[in-house]
């Protein structure tokens, strides 16, 4: 049964790897365009972030599904960081959209809140990787 699921999973994952790696650049360009043009942008990225996070979660938790992605040792941690970065930038986009659409904040206030949201997310990511490192270090045996 897991081989049938793998036939569906791996092509989806192969398509999502470049999308996930390029997503921070795409989402950041949306944030810059909101600031420059003062026009709200769509936030479809939360759906894509959720879908790619689900696929990366499966690859991280499952030995069977994650085996090809563990061959390139940096790939899974890089995908995790891209997903967290996209979530941080997208949270900032939500704040910037509130400014551009509803004039809820001033421009400087919206940019400041977006930067604070980004910094807080990055600090939480640092705390997560400090507490639960991606690669467990095994102490060397003394002989």
Give the rounded distance of the alpha carbon of 62 from its chain centre: 20
Alpha carbons 126 and 111: distance in angstroms, whole number: 22
Q: Is residue 93 part of a domain?
A: yes
Segment 9-50, tens digit of pLDDT: 889 889 999 999 999 999 999 899 999 998 888 877 788 899
Q: Is residue 142 part of a domain?
A: no
Q: Is residue 89 part of a domain?
A: yes
Alpha carbons 68 and 10: distance in angstroms, whole number: 9
Q: Is residue 139 part of a domain?
A: no
Segment 83-138, tens digit of pLDDT: 999 999 999 999 999 998 888 888 899 999 999 999 999 999 999 888 888 765 66
- Give how many domains the chain has, as a whole number: 1
Q: Is residue 65 part of a domain?
A: yes
Q: Is residue 64 part of a domain?
A: yes
Strands (E), the chain: none
pLDDT at res. 62: 87
Structural domain of residue 98, as residue ranges?
2-131
pTM of the model: 0.83
């Amino acid at each position: 049964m897991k081989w049938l699921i793998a036939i569906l999973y791996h092509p989806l994952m192969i398509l999502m790897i470049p999308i996930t790696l390029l997503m921070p650049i795409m989402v950041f360009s949306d944030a810059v365009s909101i600031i420059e043009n003062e026009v709200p942008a769509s936030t479809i990225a939360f759906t894509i972030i959720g879908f790619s996070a689900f696929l990366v979660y499966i690859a991280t938790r499952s030995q069977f599904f994650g085996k090809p992605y563990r061959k390139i040792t940096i790939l899974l941690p890089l995908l995790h960081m891209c997903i967290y970065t996209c979530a941080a930038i997208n949270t900032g986009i939500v704040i910037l959209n509130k400014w551009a659409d509803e004039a809820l904040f001033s421009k400087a206030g919206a940019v400041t809140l977006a930067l604070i949201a980004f910094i807080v997310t990055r600090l939480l990511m640092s705390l997560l990787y400090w507490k639960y490192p991606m690669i467990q270090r095994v102490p060397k045996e003394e002989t």
